[in-house]
Amino acid sequence: MKNFHDYKKFFDVKGVTSTSANYLSNIAKEIIKSYVIFEKISFETTTVRDFHAEDGKEFLVGQGISEQEFNDLNQLLENKAKLNSLIAWFREAIKAREFQMEEIESMSFESWMKDMKNIDDLNFGYEIPEYKAEDYEHITQEEYIENNFSVKEMNRYFYLQSMSSSLGKFIHPNGAYAAAKEIIEKSKGTSYVKETPSANMLYSISSSVSIEKIQAKFFELQDKQREYQKQLNEILFSVEKAVNKYNDDQDAKLHQFNLDKQDIQGKIRAEELKYKKEFSQWKVDELNRLRSLKIIIPNDLMDIYQFVTSYGKQSGE
């Protein structure tokens, strides 16, 4: 027989409990077992007479069914069918309730929200902002200059950068100008003889530019380098300030994003907890309700139910 999933057709507030249904089913099975006529039937009545016995009496050794049993055969078939129907009805009712209880116990929160609350959106109408890393990226000084400087400003920046660097290297103690200045200051007015296989050569060293001019040019270049570096530092300082502000604004925007997201997620969690509490209580209440329901007795089975019930009382006595 089909395992009916529609448990409502089997149950109501009035009827019999599952325990009673099992008890009555067992009685019905015993009654069916008592109908041995359906397992073995005979119409032969056999007697035996011993002719050597003084009284010559006959003895019954085999009994066929009686006229009354023969007349009751249709009713017994009807009873057996109804008993089996009652057993099947109780069995399917119990299976239907067990199935329904399993369905409730295994029901997910998401399914309950959809089926019982008609709610598909488990964000409850709130939109969680999507995080995009590019919206909160920091910017470097080079990127700021490239994105914000005009052509003139950018060329001025490159010029100051180049002049400051070139002059710095040129007049550095290890730079070309500083090294040449130091050499001429030490070797000016000196001479030396270089011997060759054919002659002795006298070399005299003098300054191609006056020492005073060389020194003056050094200080001039030094001042220029400092000035270029100063102007470059001013630009770099303003760039650094702007970059720091931009990056701080990005951090602040990201912080606000996280606060807004946490706030929305908190509201969603609050709604979810409220419904989950209701869901848990619903499960408890629904399972208790199912347990309290009783199996109804269909009108067509009422007579056989009463017969089994009275039979059970008699056998109990």
Please provide the size of the chain in residues.
Answer: 317
Question: What sections of the chain are H helices per DSSP?
Answer: 18-34, 67-71, 73-106, 109-116, 141-148, 151-171, 176-187, 211-292, 302-316
In this structure, are residues 42 and 66 in contact, taking their beta carbons and an 8 Å threshold?
no
pLDDT tens digits, residue range 18-62? Answer: 999 999 999 999 888 876 555 666 565 666 776 666 666 767 655
Low-confidence winner among 70-79, 132-141, 205-214, 305-314 (lowest mean pLDDT): 70-79
In this structure, are residues 308 and 83 in contact, taking their beta carbons and an 8 Å threshold?
yes
Closest CA to 28 of 264, 254, 305: 305
The stretch 6-22 carries a mean pLDDT of: 85
Mean pLDDT of the chain: 85
- Three-class SS of 232-245: HHHHHHHHHHHHHH
pLDDT cut 90: percent of the chain above it: 55
What gap in Å lies between CA 290 and CA 257, rounded to an integer?
48
pLDDT score of 128 more than 70: yes
pLDDT score of 111 more than 50: yes
What gap in Å lies between CA 23 and CA 34, rounded to an integer?
17
- What letters, b where the CB count within 10 A reaches 16 and e where it falls short, cover 132-170? eeeebeeeeeeebbeeebeeeeeeebeebeebbeebbee
Position 286: which residue type? E
What gap in Å lies between CA 25 and CA 83, rounded to an integer?
8
Q: pTM of the prediction?
A: 0.60
Q: pLDDT: is 204 or 280 the higher one?
A: 280
What gap in Å lies between CA 317 and CA 307, rounded to an integer?
15
pLDDT tens digits, residue range 217-271? Answer: 989 999 999 999 999 999 999 999 999 999 999 999 999 999 999 999 999 999 9
In this structure, what is the dihedral angle of CA atoms 248, 249, 250, 251, given to the nearest 10 degrees? 50
pLDDT tens digits, residue range 160-198? Answer: 999 999 999 999 988 998 888 888 888 766 766 677 777
pLDDT score of 317 more than 50: no
Confidence (pLDDT) at 233: 96
Q: Indicate if the alpha-carbon torsion angle 245, 250, 252, 253 is positive or negative.
A: positive
